A and B are shown apart, each in its own frame.
Chain A
Amino acid sequence: MTPFRYSRATDVADAIRQSGDCNTRYLGGGTNLVDLMRETVERPEALVDVSGLSRDIEELPDGGLLIGAGVRNTALAEHRSVRTRYPALSRAILAGASAQIRNMATVGGNLLQRTRCAYFYDDDGSRCNKRLPGQGCDALEGFNRNHAILGASPSCVAVHPSDMAVALAALDGVVHLHGARGERSFPVADLHRLPGDRPDVDTLLEPGELITAIELPPLPFAARSTYRKVRDRSSYAFALVSVAALLDVEDGRIRDVRIALGGVAHKPWRAFKAEEVLRGGPPRAAAFTAAADAELADAKPLAGNGFKIELARRTIAAVLGELAGETA
């Protein structure tokens, strides 16, 4: 690990003041950043510890929820309002990592964790455009079973590893940011970029910008939501494919629906095309499969991950079937 300065921020303004230049990183629970620093993939000159800030979950007057960026993953998953009103979010968090890691990891840090692509981690032996722009990508022709089928580029085929972010994208979550130039907010589904020719840039965050909170809008039909994760072993593994979904059925028609996919792209993948196919139609298995097909029409397999297309198709249909009350 290369040497760095450590300081603790007393509040958000103090954190932004201390962030200085772009070679400073904010430190949350450290469960990904400390590991990346030990592997010398990340070499910040300074860490500003924000893990003590923004640790409340606030009920909003409109019926939504404001989740501080410093809230620990366990605290969010066990929160009574999340469990009853946004169960997909509890389910997604509980499907990720281990209990020890969830006790440490913050909500902000979970969103900003980096890909687990093995070539990205291999600072000594592999080429990676995300780690060193212009170097090349060894995953493209390498072991790419875990990699992207949607939205990838010749520069990068890595996937975003978060489960929580997939649920937040489906739940219309909004991310709140503070920076030297003020405050702004946008949908969680827009926070992460597709790789294009700049895979080294994961998100739309400006240097020094800090995630302070995630807002969940009041979505009464989110009480009927879930998260399903398909992985190589039944616990403590990253997703091959995951699906977060909400379904609102009235009088035999789908009034509204939200779907997001994990494990398939450089970002949590909001399945707008599938949602469009479903709205107004019948909540039937054939419609669910047609919606999945519409979303996956542009999917491009690599040598090792073609199975993900069929897996995503079946998982989307199964999750929607489960929410519609069918056996899946």
Chain B
Amino acid sequence: MTITVNGAAVSLPNDPRVSLLDLLREDLHLPGTKKGCNQGACGACTVLVDGERILSCLALAVQFEGRSVTTIEGLGMPGALHPLQAAFVEHDGFQCGYCTPGQICSAIGMAEEIRRGVPSHVTSDLSSETIALSRDELRERMSGNLCRCGAHNGIIDAIAETFAPKTALAEAAE
């Protein structure tokens, strides 16, 4: 029974009560993923599983046997930041930083959803194949990640800068 975390295979816990979040933080000593509310309301524990964003606090680790988990530590580290991490610094996308790893993992999962054409609550035309990367779309899609410092404007700026140019380039190439 193993799970892959940031590229390394690790053993799953014997006790099925252990959440994916506690496995990451307590057993694997990867404290980047944060425990905010521990009840699925704040998004601070967001990680990527096979590229999809999920809440690790509501996930029992045993359910994820054989899956590949990416945490903030797997995205970038000091000296080798992920472009979105650098953009968060540039745009003041945080104050205390507690929600930041969840925000960044969530935004990376969101970018893949947009690439796939997944609609959102504010998408006006459900039949459209492409999603406009508007501020309203970004805010709605990031609404599962709360920031109590109120850095949401900087967060959206960072995400827009990191992902919008690529989308524009992709459209120009078509």
Contact = CB atoms under 8 A, between A and B. Distances in A.
Interface of A: 1, 3-6, 27, 29-31, 34-35, 38, 47, 49, 51, 74, 77-78, 83-84, 87, 90-91, 94-95, 97-101, 103-104, 234-236
Contacts, number: 96
14 contacts: A3-B17, A27-B60, A27-B63, A31-B55, A34-B19, A34-B60, A35-B40, A83-B119, A83-B127, A98-B43, A99-B109, A100-B54, A100-B106, A104-B55
A94 B144 CA distance: 12
Contacts of B60: 6, 27, 30, 34, 47
A100 to B, nearest CB: 5
A30 B17 contact: no
Interface residues of B, number: 37
A34 B123 CA distance: 31
Residue from B58, B110, B113 having most chain A Cβ neighbours under 10 A: B58
B39 interface: yes
A172 B80 CA distance: 53
Contacts of B39: 35, 38
B16 A4 contact: yes
Contacts of A49: 62-63
Given A5-B16, A100-B46, A100-B144, A31 B40 contact: yes
Interface string B113-136: 100111111010011000000000
Nearest to B126: A83
Contact of B140 (A6, A35, A100, A235): A235
Interface string B56-96: 00111011000000000000000000000000000000000
Query: Which of the listed residues B38, B141, B144 has the most CB atoms from chain A within 10 Å of its own CB?
Result: B144
Given A35-B39, A77-B119, A98-B43, A103 B126 contact: no
Contacts of A31: 40, 55, 58
A236 B17 contact: no
Contacts of A34: 19, 58-60
A101 B106 contact: no
A99 B119 contact: no
B120 A94 contact: yes
B34 interface: no
Nearest to A80: B127
A136 B163 CA distance: 53
Contacts of A95: 121
B53 interface: yes
Contacts of B38: 38
Contact of A91 (B46, B58, B113, B126): B126
B153 interface: no
Interface string B96-110: 000000000010011
B47 to A, nearest CB: 9
A99 B144 CA distance: 7
Given A38-B39, A236-B144, A1 B55 contact: no
A103 B40 CA distance: 13
Nearest to A39: B39
Contacts of B6: none
Given A90-B126, A235-B140, A104 B110 contact: no
B102 to A, nearest CB: 9
Contacts of B145: 98
A101 B40 contact: yes
B32 to A, nearest CB: 17
A85 to B, nearest CB: 10
A34 B118 CA distance: 27
B52 interface: yes
Contacts of B55: 31, 100-101, 104
A311 B153 CA distance: 32
